[in-house]
Structure 1
Amino acid sequence: MSQLLELTTKEEMLAQLPIIQQLYPDYTNEIYGDLLDKMIPHNYKQLIVIENNTTIGLAGFWIGTKLWCGKYLEFDNVVVHQDFRSKGIGTIMTNYLNQKAIEENCNMMALDAYTTNFGAQKFYMNHGFVPKGFHFIKYLKH
């Protein structure tokens, strides 16, 4: 049976480095820790799914407020362990965070998906997400 936990401390999140490395293989404890030091003070948290003492899914999330939408919950860096994909883990995390957004009185949920990640796009559309616009970026460091 899967267990869901919300992580709020750097130490808890640092322990998730192995699954984070499935998204970012070059991340070390130091790189990851430095990023967490900058993110946690801005309300960054993580949701993990544990099965048999192994993290099989992780979704970072933030609750914030923007002028155009008011209060929102944003998914950030969602990863399902490569051995557990297509087993409903993404749905478990999405449903949990959907309920959290409702309980937190958010107006909407948001996320970014790469334009080339058609599987993620299909997954999120099947869960009620719709494209709202473009997320433009300009690289300043190469």
Structure 2
Amino acid sequence: MYSIQLIPKEKLEIILPFLKLLSPKRSIKTLHERLIEMISEKYECVGVYDQDKLIGISGMWFLTKYYIGKHIEPDNVFILPEYQGKGVGKLLMNWIFEYAKSKGCKASELNCYINNKKGQKFWENQGYELIAYHYQKKI
């Protein structure tokens, strides 16, 4: 059976291998530096465990925007490939939604890369609707 729990801030470095799988072009050093900064910005992360083995993660940002109100943004959601397709992602998202409700959130938003067709299908199956494009410009 799987367990789901918040990863304490002082142990968040355990997610670095997952972040490296998500961002193979970025160095562990860069990912670590960014994680430290994110923690100072109230970043939270939840883990899915198969006994003592971390098998999935999702970062969480809590935001308030004028057009949606208080909401949660799951970020860098990743389940190890050998656990994908087994309902682990759905369990994780259900936990996240309940946690978000307990913090007063009324909605959830997220980003999914254009070329991530498998991810898009997953998010649609979780009830998300495509409502906008996410643009980015480096300055």
* Common topology (TM > 0.5): yes
Q: How does 1:23-34 map to 2 (within 5 A)?
A: 23-25=22-24, 26-28=26-28, 30-34=29-33
List runs of 5+ in structure 1 lacking aligned partners. none
* Letter of the 2:36 counterpart: D
| Residue of structure 2 equivalent to 1:7 | 7
Q: Distance in 1 between matches of 2:31 and 2:78?
A: 15
| Residue of structure 1 equivalent to 2:100 | 101
Query: After the TM superposition, which segments of 4 or more aligned residues of structure 1 sit over 4 Å from their partners?
Result: none
CA contact (8 A) 1:50 1:56 kept: yes
> CA-to-partner distance for each residue in 1:22-70, whole Å, 9 max, x for gaps?
2123431x32321122111222111100113211110011111122221
List runs of 5+ in structure 2 lacking aligned partners. none
**1:44 and 2:43 equivalent?**
yes
Q: Distance in 2 between matches of 1:106 and 1:79?
A: 22
Give the RMSD, CA atoms, in angstroms.
1.5
| Residue of structure 2 equivalent to 1:125 | 124
CA contact (8 A) 1:56 1:81 kept: yes
Q: Normalization by structure 2: what TM-score?
A: 0.90
> CA-to-partner distance for each residue in 1:86-118, whole Å, 9 max, x for gaps?
111111111111111222221210110011111
Q: Distance in 1 between matches of 2:86 and 2:61?
A: 25
Percent same amino acid at aligned positions? Answer: 28
Q: Normalization by structure 1: what TM-score?
A: 0.89
SS of residue matched to 1:21:
helix
User: How many residue pairs align between the two structures?
Assistant: 138
